[in-house]
Amino acid sequence: MQVVVRDNNVDQALRALKKKLQREGVFREMKLRNYYEKPSEKKARQKAEAVRRARKLARKRAQREGGIAAAPGRPAAAGRS
């Protein structure tokens, strides 16, 4: 992973690096590896994450097809794919 420092602006480069790490899920991975997780707990967590992803995908698909309105307080993303 690379972050370009422009005009000796280290603060901006750090923000960009943090954003990239967050997007890649590095912080989440570090938090999970901090403590031992029993295999049964790991399986349950992964299953819950999969369910959450499936529900989110279904909700987005329904919004696109006009089945339901966007969540209150959050404008629908127009033109984003």
Nearest CA to 14 among 23, 5, 1? 5
Asked whether 13 and 1 are in contact (CB, 8 A), the reply is no
The answer to whether 65 and 58 are in contact (CB under 8 A) is no
pLDDT, tens digit, 9 for 90 and up, residues 5-23: 999 999 999 999 999 999 9
CA distance 67 to 9: 47
For 20-76, write each residue's pLDDT tens digit. Answer: 999 999 999 999 999 999 999 999 999 999 999 999 999 999 999 887 776 666 665
What's residue 65's pLDDT? Answer: 87
Q: How far apart are CA 58 and CA 63, in angstroms?
A: 9
Which pTM does this prediction carry?
0.57
Pairwise CA distance, residues 50 & 16, whole Å: 29
